[in-house]
Structure 1
Amino acid sequence: MIINLSGKTAIVTGSTGGIGLAVAKGLADAGATVVISGRHQERVDATLAALRGTQAGALARGVVADLGTAAGCQALIEAEPQADILINNLGIYAVKPFLDISDADWEEIFQVNVMSGVRLARHYAPGMQARGWGRIQFISSESALNIPGEMVHYGVSKAALQGLSRGLAKVLAGSGVTVNTVLPGPTRTEGAVAFIGKMAQERGVSATEMEALFLAENRPSSLIRRFATPEEVANLCVYAASPQASATTGAALRVEGGIVESIA
């Protein structure tokens, strides 16, 4: 299968590292002009330099904005008023006992994980609809289905993305615009590596041993028995953004290593 996204503009939020960066690279490799976003100029510049070092990413451009705020979303919209592909990847998480999660914690995680996607989809969807083609994705998590007891607010925010995506797919039914969520499982991003490294140090084991212990203790239903790579997640995102995926909409697309104990 050859995926050709030449002539398409793709916005990937939270794309200076991890899954977002892998998705941006994948879309660029498929020919899309990719818009990188991040909160810090130096990280955006470094990402653009890496992308522009390849032929595929030569046209990439960046926007510095805090998309966890309404003002930040508006700054991105003003800089990039039109897009064909919108990947709502921006997200935060924090391990915290439920009884210690404050109103401010709940508000922050919903502003970043949910409202950033709401605001951007609300702006870009009408243009896609008018042109008769578009792709909107929300990067959710297997935690939307298996709400983790150690970070309930994160799981709830990801479950909200499931409902948002399905509802928006209905709003855009028959328009040529598809809307899907992508559900990664444990993925070897910079944040996850740091998290596992800290746990490994605390327990006096290697990072490799800690990764295996984490899966055994927290995600024992994993069928791949390892963390996925960001590129493995990105491969599904790139396909879902392609013309070939035109009949896939309103779906929760799993790339979680078989953790979810369900065949539906």
Structure 2
Amino acid sequence: MDIDLLGKVALVTGSTEGIGFAIARGLHEAGADVVINGRTRQKVDAAVARLGGRARGHALDLASAEGCDAMIRAEPEPDIVVSNLGIFQPLDFFETDDAIWDRHWQVNVMAGVRLARAYLPKMAAKSWGRFIFLGSESAFNIPVEMIHYGVSKTADVAVARGLAKRMAGTGVTVNSVLPGPTMSEGAAEMLKGHVTAERSFEQVGIDFVKTHRPTSILQRPATVEEVANMVAYVASPLASATTGAALRVDGGVVDSLV
């Protein structure tokens, strides 16, 4: 199986590190011209330099309508869009105020909605396109320690399904990809305080999964590359019959047959 994206332009939001950068690297290795996005010029430039040729970047905050409009002007017609930008913040429901709810909604949901509204009609005009929302197993397995995050990810899955139906027959596919616990930079930052001389970083990750995601079949965090591999496939011409799907890379956390 040869994933060939030569000649395609792929925009990956929130892609200066973590799962986003791994996705950008996977698409770049498959031949795509990759557009990196982050909030600071320093981090965007560093990520672009790591990828090398056929990569460019834009330092824009897509949590606002203005930031999305600026991205759409800068990159008017990508062939592939991966709405990866996302935040998470463990916090008890009764301590989560309106501002935190709204921030998660704007970053995790509306950034993708705004880009989809602008880009999907252009993809349809070319009879080809891929739009991929990064959801989470938390969309189905709402984490009690961050209900606000889980709700935003459920919304991502619902938007992707609805848009797939809206784009029926156009040659454009819309899907969501659902990682489970993944050892990204964000997760590493959250867990680093538990590392000791007797307890390695790897073991901390395993213990976290077994304690907080006991239904995991994998019994360890995924790597960012394992998530990126799924995205690269879904973004490719090979996945032409896959649309409206919630594709799990969750290590079996969600205890469901589908």
TM-score, L = length of structure 2: 0.98
Q: 2:131 is matched with which residue? A: 136
Question: Where does residue 172 of structure 1 map in the other structure?
Answer: 167
Q: What is the alpha-carbon root mean square deviation over aligned residues?
A: 1.2
Q: Residue type matched to 2:232 in 1?
A: V
The corresponding residue for 1:55 is none
Please tell me whether the aligned partners of residues 161 and 175 of structure 2 are also in contact (alpha carbons under 8 angstroms): yes
**Partner SS for 1:150:** helix
CA distance in 2, matches of 1:59, 1:214: 38
Using the alignment, how far apart are the partners of 1:9 and 1:206 within structure 2? Answer: 40
Shift of 1:129: 0.3
**2:3 corresponds to:** 3
Which letter maps to 1:152?
Answer: I
1:227 match: 221
Contact 2:84 2:134 in 1 (8 A): yes
Name 1:238's counterpart in structure 2. 232
Residue by residue, what CA displacement relative to the aligned partner does 1:30-69 show, whole Å, maximum 9, x if unpaired? Answer: 11100000000000000111111xxxxx111101100111
Structure 2 residue 78 is matched with structure 1 residue 83: yes
AA in 2 matched with 1:42: Q
Match of 2:153 in 1: 158
- Three-state SS of the structure 1 residue aligned to 2:177 is strand
Gaps of at least 5 residues in structure 1 are 53-57
1:61 & 1:230 partners in 2: Cα distance? 21
Task: Answer yes or no: is the 8 Å Cα contact 2:183–2:205 preserved in 1.
Answer: no
Cα deviation per residue 1:62-117 (whole Å; 9 max; x = unaligned)?
A: 01100111111111111111110000000000000000110111100000000000
Using the TM superposition, give the Cα deviation of residue 199 of structure 1 relative to its aligned residue in structure 2, in angstroms: 3.6
Q: Superposition pairs for residues 71-220 of structure 1, below 5 Å? A: 71-200=66-195, 205-220=199-214
The percent of aligned pairs where both chains have the same amino acid is 55
Aligned to 2:257: 263
State the alpha-carbon separation in 2 of the partners of residues 108 and 233 from structure 1: 25
Contact 2:13/2:36 (<8 A) preserved: yes
Equivalenced residue count is: 258
Q: Counterpart amino acid of 2:245?
A: A
Any idea what the Cα deviations from partners look like across 1:182-234, whole Å, max 9, x if unmatched? 00001110111111112446xx8443332222112111111111111111000
Q: Distance in 2 between matches of 1:43 and 1:251?
A: 32
Equivalent position of 1:253 in the other structure: 247
Taking the aligned partners of 2:46 and 2:226, their CA distance within structure 1 comes to: 23
TM-score where L is the length of structure 1:
0.95
Q: Secondary structure at the match of 1:192?
A: helix
* Alignment partners' CA distance in 2, 1:255 and 1:175: 27
**Gap regions ≥5 residues in structure 2:** none
